[in-house]
Structure 1
Amino acid sequence: MDFPGKRLILVCHCILNQNAVLRGWERARGAFPFAADLMKSGYGVIQLPCPELLFLGPDRPPMSYEDYARLSGYREHCIRLLEPVLKELSICSRKGYRFRGVIAVRESPNCALSERRGVFMELLFERLRELHLSTDFIELPVWYAEGEERDFRKRLDDFLRGKRDES
């Protein structure tokens, strides 16, 4: 067996740590259950930092894209958080690692990618394009919760096999 698989994927922080989510908005007890399968699939999982938690703390109020976009110093904070992640991806890419893309969170003010792209994701994807790295993504649906997976697991498996997510 060839170790490691040299395949990487980025995940939003709350996919592996629901403790970072606003109180009352959690959808799993800790990590989302699919995260364990993701790691078993041979992908190295790189967890993005949570820009909201690190800027405003765990007791922050619910905020919109517009609120974060107007928050003084917030974009600069996000850029600083992304620097080590992008450096890791860049180094690994030069060494032959394959970067599959990002697992994002639909309708998040920072981590959404479809419809209204979140503040954090705007900055991440701008840099991914500059570095000529994959901008493929799949989003965790709004309805997804521990015990309520519907077709997400199949969509994720397809994504990991290289198919573009069309939903």
Structure 2
Amino acid sequence: MERSKRVVFISHCILNQNAVVHPLARAKGAYKDIIKELMDNEIGIHQLPCPEYRHLGLKREPMTKEDYDTYDFRIINKNIAMDAVGIIIEYLKNGYEVLGIIGINESPTCSIKGQMGILMEELLSLLESNHININLIDVPTDYFDGVNGKSFIEKLHKIITN
């Protein structure tokens, strides 16, 4: 079978809301409409690991970026970012299109727009130093699976179909 050779990188919780700090989950499992949009357009999905989960597990309390911004947590994020950039480079060297990264707005680790999250700071810095430019989009803070998502899905559709 011929591959689409098109892939997006997504924040962990888009596919797994079970990893989101209680009580902030906005879907029962995955964001079905985001995943459906990617699947309907035959886009491969690369799920980034969740640094918060790796650092503090499931029973962690909600924390701010400032709370998370410690030496140990930065190391976790730098390692995830280095791994992700290595994977992106491998895709690009083999003729794939890396269509973008989908973050989570206002996340202390995965926000791209506004106050950038720690993982995205590390990831985007490494992408820049490797001269890699890709599309960036955040799931908005008022997004709930199937609710308030139409404009986001339209933006995502433009990114993955252009």
- Say what the alpha-carbon RMSD is for the aligned residues: 1.4
Deviation of the 1:161 alpha carbon: 2.3
Q: Which has the higher contact order (CA 8 A, sep 6+)?
A: 2
Deviation digits for residues 121-157 of structure 1 (CA, Å, limit 9, x no counterpart)? 0000011112222242111010110220232211111
Match of 2:153 in 1: 153
Match of 1:121 in 2: 120
Asked if structure 2 preserves the Cα contact closer than 8 Å seen for 1:65 and 1:119, the reply is: yes
Match of 1:49 in 2: 49
Deviation of the 1:72 alpha carbon: 3.2
Q: SS in structure 1 opposite 2:74? A: helix
Q: TM-score, normalised by structure 1?
A: 0.90
Q: Which runs of 5+ in 1 are unaligned?
A: 163-167
Q: Write the letter of the residue equivalent to 1:125.
A: L
Task: Give the Cα separation in 2 of the matches to 1:97 and 1:14.
Answer: 24
Match of 2:136 in 1: 137
Q: TM-score, normalised by structure 2?
A: 0.92
Task: Give the Cα separation in 2 of the matches to 1:68 and 1:156.
Answer: 29
Aligned: 1:35 with 2:35 = yes
Aligned: 1:68 with 2:68 = yes
Task: Give the Cα separation in 2 of the matches to 1:161 and 1:37.
Answer: 11
Task: Give the Cα separation in 1 of the matches to 2:146 and 2:42.
Answer: 24
Q: Write the letter of the residue equivalent to 2:121.
A: E
Match of 2:79 in 1: 80
Q: Write the letter of the residue equivalent to 1:55.
A: H
Asked if structure 1 preserves the Cα contact closer than 8 Å seen for 2:81 and 2:126, the reply is: no
Task: Give the Cα separation in 1 of the matches to 2:154 and 2:19.
Answer: 26
Match of 1:12 in 2: 11
Moved runs in structure 1, 4+ residues, more than 3 A?
Answer: none
Task: Give the Cα separation in 2 of the matches to 1:122 and 1:82.
Answer: 9
Asked if structure 1 preserves the Cα contact closer than 8 Å seen for 2:82 and 2:123, the reply is: no
Asked if structure 2 preserves the Cα contact closer than 8 Å seen for 1:106 and 1:114, the reply is: yes
Asked if structure 1 preserves the Cα contact closer than 8 Å seen for 2:11 and 2:110, the reply is: yes
Deviation of the 1:74 alpha carbon: 0.9
Asked if structure 2 preserves the Cα contact closer than 8 Å seen for 1:20 and 1:58, the reply is: yes
Q: Which runs of 5+ in 2 are unaligned?
A: none
Q: How many residues are matched? A: 160
